[in-house]
Chain A
Amino acid sequence: MSKGLYLYPKWIRLWHITNAVLFLILIVTGISLQFSGLDEPFVLVSFKSAVSWHNAAAFFLVLSYVVYIIGNRVTGNIKHYRSNSDTYLQDLIKQFNYYRRDMFRGEPHPFPVTEDSKFNPLQRFSYLLAMYAGMPLVIISGILLFYPGMLPRQIFGVSGLLINDLIHIASGFMLSIFMIIHIYTCTLGSKPTTLFKSMVDGYHHDDH
């Protein structure tokens, strides 16, 4: 029996699990910092520990992100994020309608996975947004929070720190929402665990 397409090489799987673990640490500690002074469930880690863990996880996240960007470029994996389709918007709607309606009617997947196209249009769009807009925003604003002296004291009469923090929290929050949706959509394989298995052994086991 064929194992399926080999879509996720070792470096991607390693980066992916590292990124996931670091991101979970950052979410838990980030919420603990944002809602410090309140009780559980908001504050799972003490403020002082949260600061240390958040800083350490952020440092490794930046390293992991650099590896991801370079790896994508060097291995050509970046092609999966790009779309040359003339019907970009229609493709997005078609994929959305599949999740919303067509999959319940038993209709076939509109964009079957191939070696040259491992992401469907919605994945391509959301991954591109998350990894090439959300991540740079959260990383740059995070670095500026770590070195607040680099920020202007006031921007249009408002504290530069506050504006930067709002960007950091908003981008971190949206990436967290992305992660929840990402994890859920990964249960949409032929079995709820099929796509997770792909991220362990690297093979795409579904027939779509």
Chain B
Amino acid sequence: MKTLKSRGLLVLILFSGCLFNSQLFGIAPDDSLVVKWKDINVFYDDNERCLVCHGEAYYTLSDTVAGISQIRNMFQDYFVDREDYYDGVHKSFSCTDCHSSDFIRFPHDVATRLEPRYACIDCHGYDENYAHLNFEEIEVEYNNSTHAQVENFSCWKCHDPHSYKLIASEVSDVAELVLYDNNMCLACHANFTEFRLLTDREEINVVNKHEWLPNQVLHFESVRCIECHTQISDSILVAHMVLPKDKAVKNCTECHSTNSRLMSTLYKFESREKRQNGFFNSIILNRSYVIGASRNMYLGYLSFVIFFGVLTVIGIHVFFRVLKAKKK
């Protein structure tokens, strides 16, 4: 009992250092947001015991015995933005739903810090509630992707569970979806500081690497990186098998054609209907325009009728000219 009391006191003392930090450096969340978040998550107050440090850019490390305090930066990977968290798919979770309750001890034990982390499949796999998302197939595709070959890579590198939102199947604005998804890739591939934490490869200049692409900016704004850099998947909503760079799509007509690849990737959620009002890939038309893919069947027929009609009239005219010339 005495041990328990002293441990409780220790936790209180250790957390007091963090609380001090919050008062000094943290920007206190707006009261209306706190009310909203409390409404969303019944564990809000419990979570604050973690977020008081992990929800701030800085924290104070205190040695209460020696009376020394130091301000430290919160490492980006351990930072959780409250607004993003309570807006993400896991917004109703308690931190300890996924992390050990031993993390309540500060400084955190090495053994606690080394405990295995959950992957998506651990919660979402083999569960009929998530059967439509087919996490099992996502797992297979991921394991065959180039990302799986990178040491210490995991689902979390792209899908931060503290902020992840369901975008692909829910957002109506394709530009928003493209921006959200491409930012996932560019967070590492256009940020060498992040990139070199994962690999010894040399820095990639995304813009230079895609110099061959006409209207590069328009492409970057209109389609996701994964349109060309993953293998098309029929069984899951978003392809996860990231291909090696030499296998990326470089043939323009993969997208710029009637059988546009985009119908199996970017626009696959919107409709199974491929033709509407005579337009090939009509669903693309509601959002954008893709040369070669957005042709209208009826206008195509009309142009053939006009073209061959003109040739026929010319043919008839030539016929009578020849007839007249022969009469002479």
Which A positions have Cβ atoms within 8 angstroms of B? 33-38, 47-48, 51-52, 99, 104, 148-149, 158-159, 161-162, 165-166, 169-170, 173, 177, 180-181, 184
Interface string of B289-309 (1 = CB under 8 A from A): 101111110010001001100
Residues on A with C-beta less than 8 A from B101 are none
Judge whether B286 and A159 touch: CB under 8 Å: yes
Contacts A47-B252, A104-B324: A177 and B291 contacting too (C-beta < 8 A)?
A: no
Task: Tell me whether B320 is interfacial, beta carbon within 8 Å.
Answer: yes
Residues on B with C-beta less than 8 A from A33 are 256, 291-292
Query: A137–B307 Cα gap in the complex (Å)?
Result: 20
Query: A161–B286 Cα gap in the complex (Å)?
Result: 11
Residues on A with C-beta less than 8 A from B288 are 159, 161
Quick one: which of B166-193 are within 8 Å of A by CB? none
Judge whether A36 and B256 touch: CB under 8 Å: yes
The 6 A-B residue pairs with the shortest CB-CB distance, nearest first, are A37-B257, A161-B289, A36-B292, A47-B252, A162-B289, A37-B253
Q: How far is the CB of A152 from chain B (nearest CB, A)?
A: 12
Kindly identify which residue among A36, A149, A177 contacts B310, using a CB–CB cutoff of 8 Å.
A177
Contacts A48-B214, A173-B303: A34 and B314 contacting too (C-beta < 8 A)?
A: no
Contacts A162-B285, A165-B294, A180-B314: A36 and B303 contacting too (C-beta < 8 A)?
A: no
Which B positions have Cβ atoms within 8 angstroms of A? 214-215, 218, 252-253, 256-260, 285-289, 291-296, 299, 303, 306-307, 310-311, 314, 317, 320-321, 324
Could you pull out 21 A-B pairs where Cβ atoms are within 8 angstroms?
A33-B291, A35-B295, A36-B252, A37-B253, A37-B257, A38-B257, A38-B258, A47-B252, A47-B253, A51-B214, A51-B252, A104-B324, A158-B285, A159-B285, A165-B289, A165-B291, A166-B299, A170-B299, A173-B306, A180-B311, A181-B310
Kindly identify which residue among A34, A104, A165 contacts B320, using a CB–CB cutoff of 8 Å.
A104
Query: A112–B326 Cα gap in the complex (Å)?
Result: 25
Cβ-closest chain B residue relative to A174 = B306
Cβ-closest chain B residue relative to A183 = B314
Query: A26–B197 Cα gap in the complex (Å)?
Result: 49
Q: How far is the CB of B90 from chain A (nearest CB, A)?
A: 33
Residues on B with C-beta less than 8 A from A169 are 299
Judge whether B285 and A184 touch: CB under 8 Å: no
Judge whether A37 and B256 touch: CB under 8 Å: yes
6 extra interchain contacts, Cβ-Cβ under 8 A, other than A104-B320, A165-B294, A181-B310? A34-B291, A47-B256, A51-B252, A159-B285, A166-B296, A177-B310
